[in-house]
């Protein structure tokens, strides 16, 4: 299938690694131009350089999604070097592995800042240009934890549920302007974010207990495997393409059948 994204400029925030980077790689494979933005500026530049070495139009830019100034600087650079963005992908996130009782207001504030205010900042910044040009595709990464809840991820799940409500609401406002917004909701996906969380669990549980837990987790997936970044990126690619012009305000779970809400 031709996704018809050739020449489209995509801004991917939180894309120096993981799912965001896999989406950037798939987009350039289809002829898109990508700006890889990440709070880790060095990693963003290195990730873009990898794609540019393979012949892609890619730039890497340091950007903190919690800062409106940082996003304005990012968009100014993108417009100057690649052109006006047709696509925005919000993939930035942080994760805390704590029960709600053990957490503190500072933990919630940081989480809400990155995972809820961050997408708000980015969407608010790109919308006027997209509406004026009559075309835009926005995808935010949420989580199935937002749909069914997850112990030890309460305020992460709450922030992601907020993003789902944001996307559905804004989708109703700007559909007439040719702009769509959708959510991709991954199940457990084998990225650095998950590996970092798992390393902590493994250390606290010990090898034997952790191995048993891994088997239990896998049995919860009808497909009997965890996700890979490319599994999720394929859904993102579809939703940011012209092929998905009549899909807006939707939540697409890509989760190996973990939950079927």
Ligand X SMILES: NC(=O)c1ccc[n+]([C@@H]2O[C@H](COP(=O)([O-])OP(=O)(O)OC[C@H]3O[C@@H](n4cnc5c(N)ncnc54)[C@H](O)[C@@H]3O)[C@@H](O)[C@H]2O)c1
Residue 40 binds to ligand X (criterion: CB under 6 A): yes
Catalytic-labelled residue, pool 3, 135, 155, 156: 156
CB of 179 to ligand X, least distance (A): 21
CB of 114 to ligand X, least distance (A): 5
Q: What binding mask, one character per residue, do residues 6-25 give for ligand X by CB under 6 A, x or -?
A: -------xx-xxxxx-----
| Torsion (CA) 215, 220, 223, 228 in degrees, nearest 10 | -70
Give whichever of 14 and 136 is closer to ligand X, judged by the CB atom.
Answer: 14
Q: How far apart (Å, rounded) are the C-alpha atoms in residues 144 and 133?
A: 33
| Per-position b or e across 53-92, b if 16+ CB within 10 A of its CB | eeebbbbbbbbbbbbeebbeebbebbeeebeebbbbbbbb
For residue 104, what are the contacts with CB-CB under 8 A and spacing of at least 6? none
CB of 190 to ligand X, least distance (A): 7
* Candidates 52-60, 104-112, 189-197, 217-225; binding stretch for ligand X (CB under 6 A): 189-197
Q: Which two tokens stand for residue 227?
A: 């996700």
Q: What binding mask, one character per residue, do residues 106-145 give for ligand X by CB under 6 A, x or -?
A: --------x--------------------------x-x--
Q: Which two tokens stand for residue 62?
A: 């340091």
Q: What binding mask, one character per residue, do residues 211-250 give for ligand X by CB under 6 A, x or -?
A: ----------------------------------------
155 annotated active-site: no
Q: Is 196 helix (H, G, I), strand (E, B) or coil?
A: helix
Active-site positions? Answer: 156
């Amino acid at each position: 299938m031709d996704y018809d994204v050739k020449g489209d400029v995509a801004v991917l925030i939180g894309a120096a690694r993981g799912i965001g980077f896999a989406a950037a790689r798939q987009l350039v494979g289809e002829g898109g131009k990508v700006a890889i933005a990440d709070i880790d500026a060095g990693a963003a530049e290195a990730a873009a350089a990898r794609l540019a070495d393979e012949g892609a139009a890619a730039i890497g830019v340091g950007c903190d999604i919690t800062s409106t100034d940082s996003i304005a600087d990012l968009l100014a650079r993108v417009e100057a070097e690649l052109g006006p963005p047709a696509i925005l992908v919000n993939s930035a996130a942080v994760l805390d592995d704590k029960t709600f009782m053990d957490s503190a207001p500072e933990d919630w504030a940081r989480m809400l800042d990155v995972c809820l205010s961050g997408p708000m900042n980015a969407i608010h910044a790109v919308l006027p240009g997209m509406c004026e040009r009559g075309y835009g595709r926005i995808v935010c990464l949420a989580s199935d934890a937002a749909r069914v809840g997850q112990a030890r991820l309460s305020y992460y799940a709450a922030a992601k549920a907020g993003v789902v409500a944001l996307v559905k609401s804004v989708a109703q406002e700007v559909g007439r302007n040719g702009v769509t917004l959708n959510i991709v909701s991954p199940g457990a996906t084998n990225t650095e974010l998950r590996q970092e969380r798992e390393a902590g669990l493994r250390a606290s549980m010990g090898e034997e207990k952790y191995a048993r837990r891994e088997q239990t987790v896998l049995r919860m997936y009808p497909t009997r495997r965890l996700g890979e970044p490319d599994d999720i990126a394929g859904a993102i690619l579809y939703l940011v393409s012209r092929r998905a012009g009549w899909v807006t305000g939707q939540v697409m779970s890509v989760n190996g059948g973990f939950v079927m809400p």
